Structure 1
């Protein structure tokens, strides 16, 4: 059977030659799991920065790895497209994760991921009470919320899910039109803020759950409207988060993503733990499509420079294309 993306001889040899070295094989195994910076790879492999950069350069030139520049940082991941991308994934899948060298790399990768999570948690704990003040950096929140309401419309929903609920503002906005509203956040400090805030509203159909954004504690096919409001820029793997949000959508369910358009405010990374400096329309639309969702709306809210705001806010509304009458696989009723 012909491969879906067959490689011609010369690029196939280049890709195999690039992969055929111990450090570069280890890199393929790591980058198949997480997008990493050079400094993170250096910490995991215990090799010098020049050596790591040289190996990464060879993998990029062979089409096995993609390099993405963002501000002062460069991120690397397995190539998501191109003739050699499938080969890169196959090579990573062939490697035995129980191999002693690869297992040690995995342990150090887990430490890097844990450190990322701890940094974010420390930030949220320190800034929980200042959450609304940070949002003053962009177009006024009232305009963003008005655009979100207009995008979603007034139709009632059985279940609304706020992913990365923070202080719970999205639940305040959308829980009144839902039978049940659930807010998920990893930070106990933020959940404490949300609880206090929501108690003042008198809402009784809201649940707050501590959980991982990459493995939401929500049943499959159960959510009519999921919201990711100013969440993606904190994540090391936005695609994975969107995939899990798509997993919990019911047939015809919708996902509303709100985040910054691309910008150059490095201070947000240094002071506020932003891992990404915004997202282009094409990038998020592509991530939604990869998750099996259809983008039905995109809108940008540009700031008014006279008010001191610097950042444009983008909205994407996507839909699960399945019809409600479509059969749902039995396995879909399993909980996350």
Structure 2
């Protein structure tokens, strides 16, 4: 078996090999190794018809090499990580030469698809930056969400906070009385301009006078997949209403976990699964919400421990009202008092 995939019975292995042993299906597996994709994405990349791609995906799903996750009128596909053939597909495509001309072309086209998605989201943010908080009125009241976030974190002060996809800077304001140093990153320059204006107008939430530059909080341009900050530097990392805009939310969770200090906490706020397709077409949402188990799996895969999951439902719930879910996780490592010979603090992961 390739990689560290668990042992399986003969019939299961033969079925998996038959499913994977076809050029297009092997190319699909190689693409899914890079993240979740839709049928539309795969038809664009591979240049094949939707029925043909759907047929290949059906066979891969039946062989338990790929998982299908419906979201409204769309469905996302990803490599299976658990089950009969958990890890087998990843091990198989891991042995492929990414420099092979056909695979290299597929990966180049995948990059182009992801750039197109990112550009659509950037255009949306640029258009809606000034009214961003108003757009969030589609779900349970922001006051209720913010109150639940504060309850999840508690009132104990801490040193450093990172807000990923900071948007208007509101979450930095929300926790401003708890941290000593706060940083928000965002890929949208117009959103950063709004955040800076808001923080200048209101201060940092810690009693700083409005309009006075505060050394305790700042916002920077940065990529959620490659955060330009020192890993292991933050006691709290927040991802508020960001994951549904991303092509690869699991990767963003891993990058967020990389920023945490031992014992640090990750707070994720996003929508529960829903069927409001207009959010995809009109508001650049890539994903129509997430169920508890999916995000908890991402948390564990990033080396963190889920602590709590909470759903917030509007009191006047209607068909168009979105449920908001809050996930809290922690880094299970503990920091050891003292210094190593090189001066760096050491940490161990608890069992």
CA distance in 1, matches of 2:170, 2:5: 46
Paired position in structure 1 for 2:111: 110
Residues 141 and 92 of structure 1: CA distance in aligned 2, closer, same or farther (over 3 Å): same
Question: What do the CA deviations read for 1:196-224 (whole angstroms, capped 9, x no partner)?
Answer: 11111233111211111111112111100
CA distance in 2, matches of 1:269, 1:304: 25
Residues 60 and 108 of structure 1: CA distance in aligned 2, closer, same or farther (over 3 Å): same
CA distance in 1, matches of 2:42, 2:104: 15
Which structure: greater helix fraction?
A: 1
For normalisation by structure 1, the TM-score amounts to 0.93
Paired position in structure 1 for 2:307: 296
CA distance in 2, matches of 1:245, 1:110: 22
Paired position in structure 2 for 1:312: 323
Aligned-pair CA distance for 1:83 = 2.5
Paired position in structure 2 for 1:94: 95
Q: Say which of 213, 224, 228 aligns to 1:213.
A: 224
Aligned-pair CA distance for 1:309 = 6.7
Alignment RMSD: 2.1
Contact 2:4–2:87 (CA under 8 A) maintained in structure 1: no
CA distance in 2, matches of 1:100, 1:79: 26
Q: Which is further off, 203-212 or 181-190?
A: 203-212
Residues 221 and 62 of structure 1: CA distance in aligned 2, closer, same or farther (over 3 Å): same
Paired position in structure 2 for 1:263: 274
Residues 18 and 322 of structure 1: CA distance in aligned 2, closer, same or farther (over 3 Å): same
| Stretches (4+) displaced over 3 A | 1-4, 306-309, 326-330
Does residue 199 in structure 1 map to residue 200 in structure 2? yes
Paired position in structure 1 for 2:129: 128
Q: How many residue pairs get matched?
A: 332
CA distance in 2, matches of 1:44, 1:328: 50
For normalisation by structure 2, the TM-score amounts to 0.90
Q: Secondary structure at the match of 1:236?
A: coil
Residues 3 and 169 of structure 1: CA distance in aligned 2, closer, same or farther (over 3 Å): closer
Contact 1:136–1:309 (CA under 8 A) maintained in structure 2: no
Paired position in structure 2 for 1:226: 237
Q: Say which of 243, 252, 272 aligns to 2:283.
A: 272
CA distance in 1, matches of 2:10, 2:303: 33
Alignment of 1:49-68 (within 5 A): 49-68=50-69
CA distance in 1, matches of 2:24, 2:147: 51
Paired position in structure 1 for 2:182: 181
Aligned-pair CA distance for 1:50 = 1.6
